[in-house]
Structure 1
Amino acid sequence: MNELPYEIKLTYIIVIAIMLLFVGFIIFVVMTYNRKQLLFLKEKQLREAEYQNSLLHEELKRQQAIQKERERISHDMHDELGAGISALKLQVEFLKQKVSEEETQQDMHELLQTAESMNLSMREMLWSLNVENDNLGNFVQYLCNYAENFFRKTNIQLNCIYSEINPEKNISSEIRRNLLLCVKEALNNIYKHAQANQITIEFHQLETSFSIDIKDNGKGLPADLQYGNGFSNMKIRMRNISGKFEFIPRVNGLHLQFSFPIPH
């Protein structure tokens, strides 16, 4: 086969060179575009991270401000209301010693009981406001102490059971407050109507939930109480914290359960 003329060879070489240049140009354009896209994505991610960081910083500042306000309210209540209630109790005790009429003595006694009730309510509010109590450990201990004090002067035997509970698990003051009021209502109804002499309070923590089970060996509660305001209020309070209240059927006695979700 005869060799190609020089002009044709040169043409082939030029065409190949042009094609190589074109391919190189395409590769260069693609790589430049990819680098720009990568740079754009990195800048976008950086801006998003900075934005999320600023949101987190603002939320942290807001939470710190809320905690600071809770502490201020707690201190103010303790200093002002606490001192006022204590002074009121002292004055009533002093007046009881000064008067002799039986009716007046009874009025003084009722006034003293009212002051004591106000004092207990204030202490509960202070407890719910204290950020150091926003964990399961302190919450469970407080409820057990409350129940022990509630039944101390009765013939009812109390047993608190809790195991495998993470004491450092955080729960909000709103949850603590609503659960406390529900448990108080439940214990009060049991004491007044169930005719029980044994009560068990069980605390259970699962992966995504926490529950309080209150059981007794009494006769149960009348139907009108099961559908009355007390039980309705407990259901509403549990619904407000995304939880639920259940009246669980039992052969002997009563079984009430309060449960609510907890984050991982």
Structure 2
Amino acid sequence: MKYILGFFYLLLIFTTATAQNINTTDSLLQLVQKETDSKKKFDLLITLGGMYVFTNADSAVFFNAKALEIAKQLKVDSLLANSYYALASIEATRNNYEPAFSNCDSAFKYFSAAGNTLALAMVRNVQGGVYMASGRNELASQMYFDAIDYTKNDTASARILYTYHNLVILLNNMNKHNRALEYALRQYEWAKRLNIPDEVAYACSNIADTYMELKDSLNAKIYINRFIEAYKHSADPYLQVIGKNQMGMLKYIEKNYETSAQYFLQSLTLNNNLVDQQLGCITLLSLGRVYQKMNKYSMADSCFLKAIDISRELNIKEERKSAFEMLIANALVQKDYKKAYTYMESLQNIRDTLLNEKTEMAIADAEAKYKLGEKQQELELAHAERRIQTADASRQRTSKLIILFSAAGIFLMTMLLFNRYKLKKELEKHNMLLEERTRIGRELHDDLGGGLSTIRLMTEMIKDPQFGMNGSYLNNISFKSKELIQNMNEIVWSLNNGNDNIAGMIVYIRQYAGTFLEDANIVLSFEQQQTVPDIEVDGHTRRHIFLVIKEALHNIVKHSGADEVKIHISINDHFTISIADNGKGISDTQREVPGNGLRNMQQRIDVLKGRFHIIQQPGTTITFSIPCTSFYNKSVS
């Protein structure tokens, strides 16, 4: 997509050569051959590499590699940084992830030494794009947030719009739609302030897509109309395709399905010139949904099957999963249960693959974050060494020999102590990584092993002619799959270090409680203090607290007969939460001889050194309180 590779439009920022009056690459090649000044030859080679990026990647790599050789001979940090950055960008377009990461690390090192924060933002954008393309979404978001931080003072440039655009797409892919909306609105305000109509149009498209993810069609419609107004005079062919898609979505919201289908078909026709297969896949899914509404099931199936073919070619599984889900819905409407069952098997295979990939990515991200921390320490050490060397050089000119020897002795002692400290920290990090892997394996086995076994058993029973195609088994499989996905989301949430804060934990609890109780037709009243302190909460502690709340809510739905639940959270030196329902309450026998659920809740609170109370009123109130000093204790398990 245009913005995923947007960093290429910035390559010439670092090129000091002026290619005025040069209209062909042949002219540049002749200049390179004749040029004797190394610095000017470097500039010409970088320019040639940039010109070949989209037409001949091998040639682009060749010219930039030659430029890198000159930079190494000249030993100029800025030239080395530019060469590595250009090579990283080209390797990213070729999906050569490892060379792209390696060149990014080198570019970041030399730009950092020069203190060029805007260039550091560009490197982070490339890293974010590569992580995003390889499915490493958490690391990609970290890179984009770094890029935003590096460009926060660059208020007159459109450079940050690339970062905002990619970040919004990424956050929507991660189902963090409210956060995506926040940055899409920033993108819109920034583009509007700079008065760049095409960028305003891209921002409006992002906002509309995010509102659609949030099921807010009213606001989506507002920004689709703003998009149409912004792009109507644009010559950008990519915007023309998006424009047809947005018009199709607008007519879909208005339930004008015939016109909606026409716009999506026009989008597919225009996209033939761009050959953006992923965008075409998304358009086919949208067109299929329109045909579903028109009861043209065979045409809808045709769209979904084409989308599946494209998704297989591009190896994009989420779109394939959506296509199979809609094919199953069509087959069920047409009472073609054999076809529905076949599609259901394919869907289950994709879900299993996605589940395995998420697990592998969680482990890979943990390792990558560990290595990223190591590289950051190496950069800081290199900067410290440079500062010390500069100070030593200055003292050599102004200090006596005895002072020089004393400084050298102190320097050596500092290095020895630092290396010892660094070795100790690396060992601690290694041990923490091993412990984290062990915990991941244990939770995956406990939470998912039994459920997958159950699904397999029911699947085998369906295959058995004695039982046949039993709808209850299919419902059970669907319910169990949904439960496993929820369990996996809970595990991934607890593993994500980005959620290690009390505000994020409260938001997650509120979202879970709202969704769970809404499905049970129970009204939720959620109260919390307005100001939430900035307190870290480690993943183990968050998981204990969440599972206590989850058990309490499950007990209410299963046993209480309540139709209203109130949750209240307060924070001072303790984190206190009360969960009250208006149900029939807990009997005296149940309180005297508690079941496994109540015992597990009590045990989890005990592990966190907290207090647990049950108050019997009209209904039941469960209250637990945990000291905030327990919130970042790595020994809790």
Aligned partner of 1:231: which letter?
Answer: L
Contact 1:164 1:205 in 2 (8 A): no
| Counterpart position of 1:230 | 597
Contact 1:135 1:171 in 2 (8 A): yes
SS in 2 for 1:201: strand
| Counterpart position of 2:505 | 139
Which of 565, 574, 594 is matched with 1:199 structurally? 565
Structure 1 residue 241, shift from structure 2 partner = 1.6
**Distance of 1:258 and 1:67 partners within structure 2:** 31
Contact 2:585 2:616 in 1 (8 A): no
**Distance of 1:106 and 1:136 partners within structure 2:** 41
1:136-175 CA distance string (max 9 Å, x none): 0110000110001101123311011111553531112111
- 1:220 maps to 2:585: yes
Structure 1 residue 68, shift from structure 2 partner = 9.5
Which of 539, 545, 549 is matched with 1:179 structurally? 545
Q: What runs of 5+ residues in structure 1 fail to find an aligned partner?
A: 1-46
Matches within 5 A, 1:246-261: 246-250=613-617, 252-261=618-627
**Distance of 2:568 and 2:550 partners within structure 1:** 15
**Distance of 1:222 and 1:55 partners within structure 2:** 58
Q: Quick check: which one's strand share is greater?
A: 1
SS in 1 for 2:577: strand
| Counterpart position of 2:309 | none
1:199-242 CA distance string (max 9 Å, x none): 11111101x21111101122212334432221111111111121
- TM-score under structure 2 length normalisation: 0.28
Matches within 5 A, 1:81-160: 104-160=470-526
SS in 1 for 2:603: helix
Structure 1 residue 181, shift from structure 2 partner = 0.9
Contact 2:562 2:583 in 1 (8 A): yes
Identity %: 27
Structure 1 residues 171, 256: CA separation in 2 closer, same or farther (over 3 Å shift)? same
Moved over 4 A (4+): 53-57, 67-74
**Distance of 2:501 and 2:494 partners within structure 1:** 11
Contact 2:605 2:624 in 1 (8 A): yes
- TM-score under structure 1 length normalisation: 0.62
Aligned partner of 2:578: which letter?
Answer: D
Structure 1 residues 132, 190: CA separation in 2 closer, same or farther (over 3 Å shift)? same
Structure 1 residues 120, 54: CA separation in 2 closer, same or farther (over 3 Å shift)? same
| Counterpart position of 1:188 | 554
Contact 1:203 1:211 in 2 (8 A): yes
Structure 1 residue 247, shift from structure 2 partner = 0.8
Q: Quick check: which one's helix share is greater?
A: 2
Answer 1 or 2: higher relative contact order, Cα 8 Å, separation at least 6: 1
| Counterpart position of 2:534 | 168
Give the greater-gyration-radius structure (CA): 1
**Distance of 2:584 and 2:436 partners within structure 1:** 42
Number of residue-to-residue matches in the alignment? 203
SS in 2 for 1:220: coil
Aligned partner of 1:237: which letter?
Answer: R
Q: How large is the Cα RMSD of the aligned pairs? A: 4.1
| Counterpart position of 1:24 | none
Structure 1 residue 198, shift from structure 2 partner = 1.3
**Distance of 1:55 and 1:212 partners within structure 2:** 41
SS in 2 for 1:219: coil
Matches within 5 A, 1:28-47: none
**Distance of 2:596 and 2:485 partners within structure 1:** 25
SS in 2 for 1:263: helix
Aligned partner of 1:210: which letter?
Answer: F
Aligned partner of 1:106: which letter?
Answer: S
| Counterpart position of 2:606 | 239
| Counterpart position of 1:209 | 574
Structure 1 residues 61, 130: CA separation in 2 closer, same or farther (over 3 Å shift)? farther
